[in-house]
Amino acid sequence: MSGTEINLLLNGKPVSKAAEPRTHLADFLREDLLLTGTHLGCEQGVCGACTVFVDGRPTRACITLAIACDASDVRTVEGFEVDPLMVRIRDAFTRHHGLQCGFCTPGMLTTAYDIIRRVPGADATRIRRELSGNLCRCTGYAGIVAAIEDVLANEPPIAPLQPMLRAKPKEVKPVLSGSDAAPTRRDTDGATQQPGTTGAALPDPASFADALHLTQSLTLHTAASDAWAILSDPARIVSCVPGASLDGPAKGEIIEGQCVVALGPIKATFRGSGSIQVDHTNKTGKLIGTGRDTVSRTKLDGMLVFAVQETGPDSCRLDLDMRYRLNGPLSQFGRPELVAEIAERLLQEVGAAIERRVQGGNDDAPAPIALNGLSLLARSIKAMILRFLGRG
């Protein structure tokens, strides 16, 4: 078969197989490796039917390129056949009628396994929130939740698992040229509550103590001073964030604008305001903001702390610490692993855009209409092709 050789540790065994760069992991597993336990529903990252573990993290196989999993540890539902915890989960699903047609079940089992390991103290409300990224067309959620509660409530206790969000530095290279640069969304700074000009009160930083939390470090191939010049300028940093734009220049520390976010068929435009505080001496900053999508009646509050550290004459590290809270109908898509997956890609896009700006890219590049799974996938494919051609 043509394509590029992909080497995986698949369900504990080394596997090597060629695949085309555009092949997503779910097709690779189902069509090439004949592991049909991984189901495909929406193929847009929304329904969770295709959830598998990649390097210990629940991952949507339908929006993950197989080639991106080279050298990874991939575990599908077939790989849990004799796993003691999965045996208990399957038994509990049977006892509590946690499946009807069974189409969602491989993804539900995989997600249940993750919830039980990661949130051993979860109650029914938390379980429902954690399950919100997995859709059951038979609407059999009550049995699924009861099954997970049952496993959590009974001996032997489950060893807790540390959060699986990646914090290790990730290399970011400029992957695309000019027109892909997108504006970003910007929330705000923090410290005290202060109203934006839209009248919405900015959230208190202390209120993010129990909010969802993501951290990431990016290596930028540019001098720290150049990166900081962009990061500390609201208009320029917003122009690096996919889907975001400002209404006008910052008024002191206050900024106003919007951010368009799309995932599969769901699209939301969060309009709001924020404030930004920067410390030029230490090259650190904090943004706090709030926005509302009037169509879905969903509110998004966020806080982003960022810091630039020089690592060489032409390189630096960008540390990002993001906390956010979604309230409203769209919060069902706030499942940490799914959001972490999207946020990680988005932050990589931001890092690449900063490098392009430093290298003379067009600051006035128009904002893309939206950031979505398909456009990200297309960009990933393009980046890979460029790398294969030696231009990446």
| Residue whose pair of structure tokens reads 């009974």 in the numeric block | 154
Report the residue number, 42 or 164, with the smaller CB distance to ligand FES: 42
Q: Is 227 in the site for ligand FES (CB under 6 A)?
A: no
DSSP 122-134: --HHHHHHHGGGS
- The correct pick among 3, 41, 329, 392 for binding ligand FES (CB under 6 A) is 41
Report the residue number, 58 or 174, with the smaller CB distance to ligand FES: 58
Token couple for 271? 């309009």
Counting other chains too, the contacts that 316-319 makes at CB distance below 8 Å and 24 or more residues apart are 316/219, 316/220, 316/222, 316/223, 316/224, 316/227, 317/169, 317/217, 317/218, 317/219, 317/220, 318/217, 318/218, 318/219, 318/220, 318/227, 318/231, 318/351, 318/354, 319/215, 319/216, 319/217
* Binding region for ligand FES (CB under 6 A) out of 67-75, 95-103, 310-318, 355-363: 95-103
Number of residues in the chain: 392
Report the residue number, 25 or 305, with the smaller CB distance to ligand FES: 25
CB 173 within 8 A of CB 88: no
- The correct pick among 37, 52, 60, 237 for binding ligand FES (CB under 6 A) is 60
User: Per CB under 6 A, which of residues 116..145 are in contact with ligand FES?
Assistant: 136-138, 140
Binding mask 277-316 for ligand FES (x = CB under 6 A): ----------------------------------------
Which residue from 250, 267, 259 is spatially nearest to 290, judged by alpha carbons?
259
Q: Is 246 in the site for ligand FES (CB under 6 A)?
A: no
- The correct pick among 28, 53, 103, 228 for binding ligand FES (CB under 6 A) is 103
Report the residue number, 108 or 370, with the smaller CB distance to ligand FES: 108
Q: Is 97 in the site for ligand FES (CB under 6 A)?
A: no
Token couple for 132? 């919100």
Report the residue number, 45 or 203, with the smaller CB distance to ligand FES: 45
Measured in Å, how far apart are the chain's first and last C-alpha atoms?
A: 25
User: Per CB under 6 A, which of residues 352..381 are in contact with ligand FES?
Assistant: none
- The correct pick among 9, 15, 40, 176 for binding ligand FES (CB under 6 A) is 40
- The correct pick among 8, 10, 43, 291 for binding ligand FES (CB under 6 A) is 43
Which residue from 294, 247, 244, 291 is spatially nearest to 272, judged by alpha carbons?
291
- The correct pick among 8, 19, 29, 50 for binding ligand FES (CB under 6 A) is 50
Residue type, 230: I
Q: Is 48 in the site for ligand FES (CB under 6 A)?
A: yes
Report the residue number, 231 or 377, with the smaller CB distance to ligand FES: 377
Which residue from 66, 55, 76, 97 is spatially nearest to 11, judged by alpha carbons?
76
Peptide bond into 336 cis (omega under 30): no
- The correct pick among 45, 190, 234, 257 for binding ligand FES (CB under 6 A) is 45
Instruction: Compute the Cα dihedral for 54, 57, 63, 67 and give only its sign.
Output: negative
Q: Is 104 in the site for ligand FES (CB under 6 A)?
A: yes
Residue 385 beta carbon to ligand FES: minimum distance, rounded to whole angstroms = 23
The rounded distance, in Å, linking the Cα atoms of 60 and 377 is 12
Chain contacts with ligand FES (rule: CB under 6 A): 40-43, 45-50, 60, 62, 99-104, 136-138, 140
